[in-house]
Structure 1
Amino acid sequence: MQGLLGEKIGQGAFSEAYAWAPGQVVKLFKAGVSHLLGQHEVRMIRAVRAAGVPVPAVFGEVTLDGRFGIVLERLDGPTLWHLSRTGAVTFEQAGAIIAALAMSIHKTPPPPPEVLSMREYMESELRHDDGKVPKHIAADILALIDRLPTGDGLCHCDLSPGNVIITAEGPKLVDWTFAMRGPSVLDLGFLHVILSELAPEIADNPERPRATNAAAQSEYARLAGMSLAELTAAMEPYLPIVRTFVVLGNVVPALREQLIRRIETGLRSED
């Protein structure tokens, strides 16, 4: 696809974003990341955009030096992470924005079949695991999924402030690599683990992600017409599943052992 790799404008655990053509960026996956992951995200973005979720348009796919890339609409505006870090928005405001986005996602029509279910995604990740998750945990996690209400709604599974871009048209959500079908509390479980367990380990101010998560969970509970205690209790059984996905994705390798211990503790509490 015609374009020219320009300045680097952002990066994540698995990819980097570069200017590409007027009004476009290319999300270029890092060397060694399977093309299947990028192709999965292309399908997800197109599916959720068709369902009315506020996401960038996909213009095409490219391969540069063996790296898979997605050419996307360039969204003009700062990330919610940047605005909260600079104090332009409060933790409460950031949490409210995330909660509203989450609610809009969870209210979309049932996603199409190409969006994998929680179990299908877990099975796929475990098939390609290279020993990051002990075998006894893998078996117990699949059994736990089978015992829990699986839901059939749309989950983004990475509702972090860095994936929310505040544009003139309103907040838009990027990075759909881990999107799957599941109950809304699965999405909130991902949010909890990302902001209260992972982000504090690398943030300049560990209280910022924790406070944002607390505000988002509280506002979501309000929007859903339930108490925060009820929401927390409903989310709790899914946390071992979320942590297993995080370990399989090798998102924060330094926290692997700590996450494994938390997974085992959570599984024991579910027995």
Structure 2
Amino acid sequence: MRGSLGEKIGEGAYSDVHAWAPGRVVKLFRPGFPQRHSWWEARMTGAAFAAGAPAPAVFGEVDLGGRFGVVLQRLDGPTLLQLSRSGALTPEATGAILAGLARSVHAIAPPADVLPLIETTRGALRDAGGALAPHVATGVLGLIERLLPGDGLCHGDLHPGNVIMTPDGPRIVDWQGATRGPPALDLACTEVLLAELAPAMVADPERPRAVNAAFQADYARRAGLPLATLVAAIAPYRPIVLARALLGPAGSPALRERLARRVEAALRPGT
């Protein structure tokens, strides 16, 4: 893939983003990050873009000194998170932008490459190597099987930090978690990120909670649903998303223990 490693223009938990060629960047994953996850992100991003989702185009893959990289369309502009934190956008405006993006994703038929929720959850449990107690993992998989999730396209990690505000409109990055499921699954993912995890990591915990409230209200309005109906649809997916969050490193030990207790309580018979 013709190009050269240029200036670093961004970074995430597991990768750095560098200039690569005119109109292109390379997302370079850090040493030790499993290449299969990097490859899967490239595949999901390409599938989402081809299906018409607001995702960057994928131009290929590279290996730079043993580090796997994905060459992507360059998306210039601040993230939605940066605009929200700076006060340039209110929580209401931030939530409305997220809601519009979510609705556009959920209107797209899922590409054939995107796996259903039960399969992505099984894979996450395997990769986590026993991070959840066996009875909790079994309970989560059983809940998914009982819910018979719908067959739509979900991003799986939609939050302001994954939205770039380009001159051509907002675009979503980090499609590794793309999953076949109902809109309520994606809404639950955003809720857990904004109302559960983010408040423990920012100076103003009420801001991400306010963004989530505005996001759900605007999504309900766009979908022509009462907000209470939308919140009720999200509820069954909350313990699934909380359990999946516990498979990663996010959150303090105290927060993780609290979330684990909530998952166990939600999975008890009769609850």
**TM-score band, normalised by the shorter chain?**
over 0.9
Counterpart amino acid of 2:210?
A
What TM-score, normalized by structure 1, do the two folds share? 0.95
Structure 1 residue ranges without an equivalent (≥5): none
TM-score by length of 2: 0.95
Q: Mark the CA change 1:269 to 1:78 in structure 2 (over 3 Å): closer, same or farther.
A: farther
Shift of 1:161: 0.4
The 2-side partners of 1:30 and 1:245 are apart by 22
Distance 1:6 1:269, change over 3 A: farther
Amino acid at match of 2:182: P
Name the residue aligned to 1:67: 67
Q: Does 1:116 pair with 2:119?
A: no
Q: For the residues of structure 2 that align with 1:64 and 1:225, how far apart are their CA atoms? A: 49
- Give the match's secondary structure for 2:21: coil
1:1-24 per-position Cα deviation (integer Å, ceiling 9, x unaligned): 232222222222222212222221
* Unaligned runs of at least 5 residues, structure 2: none
Q: How many residues align?
A: 270
Q: Residue 89 of structure 1 corresponds to which residue in structure 2? A: 89
Whole-Å separation in 2 of the counterparts to 1:142 and 1:4: 44
Which residue identity lines up with residue 126 of structure 2 in the other structure? R
The whole-number CA distance in structure 2 between the counterparts of 1:191 and 1:249 is 16
Conserved 8 A contact 2:54-2:105: no
- What is the rounded CA distance, in whole Å, between the counterparts of 1:42 and 1:150 in structure 2? 25
- The answer to whether the 8 Å contact 2:200/2:251 transfers is no
Shift of 1:71: 0.8
| 1:77-120 alpha-carbon deviations (Å, 9 max, x no partner) | 111111111111111011000000000100112x1221011000
Q: Secondary structure at the match of 1:128?
A: helix
Instruction: Report if the CA contact (8 A) 1:237-1:270 is conserved.
Output: no
What is aligned with 2:145? 146
What aligned pairs does 1:70-219 form with structure 2 within 5 A after superposition?
70-109=70-109, 111-219=110-218
Distance in 2 of aligned mates of 1:219 and 1:199: 20
Q: Following TM superposition, by how much is the alpha carbon of 1:266 offset from its aligned partner in structure 2, in angstroms?
A: 1.9
Deviations 1:108-136 (A, max 9, x none): 12x12210110000111122222211111
Deviation of 1:253 (Å) = 5.9
Query: Counterpart of 1:248?
Result: 247
Change (3 A) 1:219 1:131: same
Residue number in structure 2 paired with 1:31: 31
List, as ranges, runs of 4+ consecutive aligned residues in structure 1 with deviation greater than 6 Å: none
DSSP-derived class of the 2:263 partner: helix
Contact 1:189-1:239 within 8 A present in 2 as well: yes
Structure 2: distance between partners of 1:128 and 1:74:
30
C-alpha distance in 2 between matches for 1:246 and 1:258:
12
1:269 is displaced (CA, Å) by 7.0
Report the secondary structure of 2:250's partner residue: coil
Q: Give the RMSD, CA atoms, in angstroms.
A: 1.5
